[in-house]
């Protein structure tokens, strides 16, 4: 995003023909993005995360940018929190602080003095270790915050609060009065998580399963819903390309639910269609998101509506296109070069539909990130086949959601509900999907 904006500005003559360089142009662009947040949203505090490891080439411009930010807005208005690793050598029985010291020294060489150190460790850090880290890293002793390995990441806010991180941050930023935070929601979440004693087996059929982080939001949304329903969710990672080659049964047999997430491009699409058909025929709860929704509709169009060879336009195949590139007017946020619906938009939910029961509202706002839309020429034929178009953006005649009532739980949405799921507020669609998977599991026992 940063480099794209700089390149675009250069092409538009924004730099008056000067040579564009990392310093100062990239650095200034990073700072502009940071300051824009504070100017547009007017927050009390802006949290900026610099990913990677200190010393990475990729992160150097960002580190230089935040160093300059501190000089511009005042040292008293910026706090540097450095997350670092304290390794434990099991054979020697030693905790080693040298990696942290070297990491801080590297930051100091870049002009950044960490104010707080959050120390990842699998072993307890006693006072002598913390004092040693504070001495050699030039921070206050109470600013060395232990971050021990824990059973669940959801325990982390409670652990950091117990270690006094919030008090230290407020003191360093000059917040006049520290107010004890209300963490009752988190405490309840952790308590629910500790009581989980059931497991669901959910198959995630996607095209990027070798890189689990590609579906991280979906995975977390499933975990949020699972905790709310008192069950853990074990994911069975299934490559849609493998399903296309070998069929669905050997990969999906015995699962309690099937989720087909988003993606771009034709690779693996046919495997998603096969997986959707397997879930429909075997009455397994199916949740299609984005491209997964498209393929679940294609499956019904082929199998039940008799529309031969129909596919999404993204499949780049001959034949009828069930999902096409639309022409948007100014009421829908999209990119200028290639249409892509992005951001939060409101739409209407069909009364007495499954979706209406899940949301409990006639108007819903969800976040979008997709290019193709349902081709309304086929709407009537699919309705005759039993498909219900339960979510519509009527101003643009855009389909948001579908469901198949002849199935226990067959729902597809073109938007991305996983973006709005939170640990203490699981998205209702994911919670409903998990509930349906639990009912399916009970029916198989």
| Domain architecture of the chain: domains with CATH | 1-78 (no CATH), 80-180 (3.40.50.300), 196-444 (3.40.50.880)
What is the pLDDT at residue 340? 83
CA–CA dist 115, 119 (Å, integer): 13
**Residue-level pLDDT, tens digit, the chain, 445 residues:** 898 889 998 998 988 888 889 889 999 999 999 999 888 888 888 999 998 889 888 889 999 999 999 999 999 999 999 999 999 999 898 999 999 999 999 999 999 999 999 999 999 999 999 999 999 999 999 999 999 999 888 999 999 999 999 999 999 998 877 788 889 999 999 999 999 989 999 999 999 999 999 999 999 999 999 999 999 999 999 999 999 999 999 999 999 999 999 998 899 999 999 999 999 999 999 999 999 999 999 999 999 999 988 999 888 888 889 999 887 555 455 554 567 888 999 999 999 999 999 999 999 999 999 989 999 999 999 999 999 999 999 888 999 999 999 999 999 999 999 999 999 999 999 999 999 999 999 998 7
CB 66 within 8 A of CB 112: yes
Whole-angstrom CA distances from 226 to 197, 235, 366, 388, 426 are: 11, 12, 21, 27, 9
What is the pLDDT at residue 18? 87
DSSP state, residue 111 = T
CA–CA dist 207, 425 (Å, integer): 28
What is the pLDDT at residue 338? 62
Cis peptide leading into residue 43 (ω within 30°): no
What is the pLDDT at residue 256? 97
Rg (alpha carbons) of the chain, rounded to whole number: 26
CA–CA dist 142, 116 (Å, integer): 9
Cβ neighbours of residue 219 closer than 8 Å, sequence gap 6 or more? 204, 212, 235
What is the pLDDT at residue 255? 97
Which pTM was predicted?
0.86
What is the pLDDT at residue 420? 96
393-423 as b/e: b if 16+ CB within 10 A: beebebbbbbbbeebebbbbbbbbbbebbeb
Backbone φ and ψ of 90, nearest 5°: -65, -40
What is the pLDDT at residue 332? 53
Cβ neighbours of residue 323 closer than 8 Å, sequence gap 6 or more? 294, 297, 312, 313, 314, 372, 373, 374, 375
């Amino acid at each position: 995003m940063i480099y794209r904006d700089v390149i675009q500005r250069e092409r538009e003559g924004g730099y008056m023909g000067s040579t564009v360089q990392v310093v100062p142009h990239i650095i200034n662009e990073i700072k502009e993005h940071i300051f824009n947040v504070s100017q547009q949203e007017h927050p009390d505090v802006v949290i900026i995360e610099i990913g990677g490891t200190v010393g990475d080439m990729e992160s150097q411009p960002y580190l230089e940018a935040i160093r300059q930010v501190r000089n511009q807005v005042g040292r008293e208005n910026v706090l540097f929190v450095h997350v670092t690793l304290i390794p434990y050598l099991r054979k020697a029985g030693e905790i080693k602080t040298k990696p942290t010291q070297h990491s801080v020294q590297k930051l100091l060489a870049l002009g950044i003095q960490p104010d707080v150190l959050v120390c990842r460790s699998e072993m307890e850090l006693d006072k002598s270790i913390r004092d040693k880290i504070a001495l050699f890293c030039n921070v206050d002793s109470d600013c060395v915050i232990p971050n021990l390995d824990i059973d669940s990441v959801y325990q982390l806010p409670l652990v950091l609060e117990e270690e006094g991180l919030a008090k230290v941050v407020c003191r360093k930023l000059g917040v006049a009065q520290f107010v004890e935070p209300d963490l009752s929601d988190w405490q309840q979440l952790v308590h629910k998580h500790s009581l989980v004693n059931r497991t669901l087996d959910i198959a995630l059929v996607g095209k990027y399963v070798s890189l689990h982080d590609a579906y991280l939001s979906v995975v977390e949304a499933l975990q949020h819903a699972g905790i709310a329903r008192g069950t853990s969710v074990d994911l069975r990672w299934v490559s849609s390309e493998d399903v296309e080659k070998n069929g669905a049964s050997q990969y999906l047999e015995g699962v309690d639910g099937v989720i087909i997430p988003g993606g771009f491009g034709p690779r693996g699409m046919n495997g998603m269609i096969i997986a959707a058909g397997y879930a429909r025929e075997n009455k397994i709860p199916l949740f299609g998101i984005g491209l997964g929704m498209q393929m679940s509709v294609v499956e019904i169009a082929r199998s039940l509506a008799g529309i031969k060879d129909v596919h999404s336009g993204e499949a780049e195949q001959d034949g009828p296109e069930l999902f096409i590139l639309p022409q948007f007017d100014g009421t829908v946020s999209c990119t200028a070069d290639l249409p892509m619906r992005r951001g939060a938009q409101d739409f209407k939910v069909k009364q007495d539909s499954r979706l209406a029961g899940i949301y409990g509202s006639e108007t819903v706002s969800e976040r979008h990130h997709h290019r193709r839309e349902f081709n309304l020429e086929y709407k009537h034929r699919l309705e005759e086949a039993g498909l219900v178009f339960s979510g519509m953006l009527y101003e643009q005649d855009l389909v948001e959601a579908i469901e198949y009532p002849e199935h226990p739980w067959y729902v597809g949405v073109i938007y991305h509900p996983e973006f709005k799921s939170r640990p203490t507020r699981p998205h209702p669609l994911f919670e409903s999907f998990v509930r349906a998977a639990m009912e399916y599991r009970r029916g198989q026992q």
